[in-house]
Amino acid sequence: MSAFRLHSPIDSLITGFDKALRVVGGVAASSRPNPGQHATDCELSDEERRHSAGLMRVNHVGEVCAQALYDSQARFGKSPAIRAQFEKSAREEEDHLAWTAERLAELGSQPSVLNPLWYAGSYVMGSIAAKLGDPQSLGFVVETERQVEAHLNSHLETLPAQDAKSRAIVEQMRVDEIAHGASAQALGAAETPLPVRVLMKAMSKVMTTTAYRI
């Protein structure tokens, strides 16, 4: 049974608030080894290091948003099976959160200072999607993962060729995001309307452009 069903509303509120604090505070633990741990470290120029750090900060922000989205969608989902799927995906996304934070530290950089804003906005979006019904909520996941996959593909194209650690992390994230989208599709996702897809893409552009820098 979903953890959300075992808790009272107050317990769930406290648990959700605690999770939000941990996510925006940079406290994340991975259940899987970091894919970059065995990759050969390399020398990067200052410009290459800044670029890698900027992309990994974007990816870290994406994982902050993913935690908020999956938490809100699981909390307000109607079907136990769908809530369970959201919770499973959130646990896997927490691996990504930990991996990207670790790589940022290795690159001598830090997460976005706007993480609380990204988390809050994503939580609201996930809640709205969940309230529209499970098919619409699943459709939102499918479209989100599709756009995330496109971002990760572009990162693999522009990351410095010798930055094997960052590349290994991004590649595993890409594999996981594809799987999450496929799982949502298999559970009965509805097609997300074109205006919503366009709005999601525009909001994503604002987030990625801002997070690359701060």
Mean pLDDT of 10-22: 61
What CATH number is given to the structural domain containing 206? Answer: 1.20.1260.10
Please enumerate in sequence order all residues whose Cβ is within 8 A of that of 91, keeping only pairs 6 or more positions apart, or say none: 31
- Burial category of 171 from C-beta neighbours within 10 Å (exposed 0-12, middle 13-18, buried 19 and up): middle
| Residues that constitute the known binding site for Fe cation | 63, 93, 96, 145, 177, 180
Residue 97 lies in a domain: yes
Residue 23 lies in a domain: no
What confidence tier does 6 reach under pLDDT thresholds 50, 70, 90?
very low
Q: What confidence tens digit (pLDDT) does each residue in 139-179 have?
A: 999 999 999 999 999 999 999 999 999 999 999 999 999 99
Instruction: Please check whether residue 176 is in contact with residue 62, taking contact to mean a CB–CB distance below 8 angstroms.
Output: no
| Residues that constitute the known binding site | 63, 93, 96, 145, 177, 180
Residue 31 lies in a domain: no
What confidence tier does 5 reach under pLDDT thresholds 50, 70, 90?
very low
Residue 32 lies in a domain: no
Instruction: Please check whether residue 178 is in contact with residue 148, taking contact to mean a CB–CB distance below 8 angstroms.
Output: no
Q: What confidence tens digit (pLDDT) does each residue in 71-130 have?
A: 999 999 888 989 999 999 999 999 999 999 999 999 999 999 999 999 999 999 999 999
Tokens standing for residue 129: 């999607």
Q: Could you give the C-alpha distances from 62 to 59, 65, 94, 158, 189, in angstroms and in order? A: 5, 5, 11, 18, 21
Largest CA distance in the chain: 53
Residue 37 lies in a domain: no
Q: What confidence tens digit (pLDDT) does each residue in 175-209 have?
A: 999 999 999 999 999 999 999 999 999 999 999 99
Query: In the predicted model, is pLDDT for residue 9 greater than 60?
Result: no
Range of the domain at 199: 43-213
Q: What is the mean pLDDT of the chain?
A: 89
d(CA 127, CA 98): 24
Residue 204 lies in a domain: yes
Taking alpha carbons only, the member of 134, 128, 148, 136 closest to residue 203 is 148
Residue 57 lies in a domain: yes
Decide: pTM greater than 0.75. Answer: yes
Residue 172 lies in a domain: yes
Number of domains forming the structure of the chain: 1
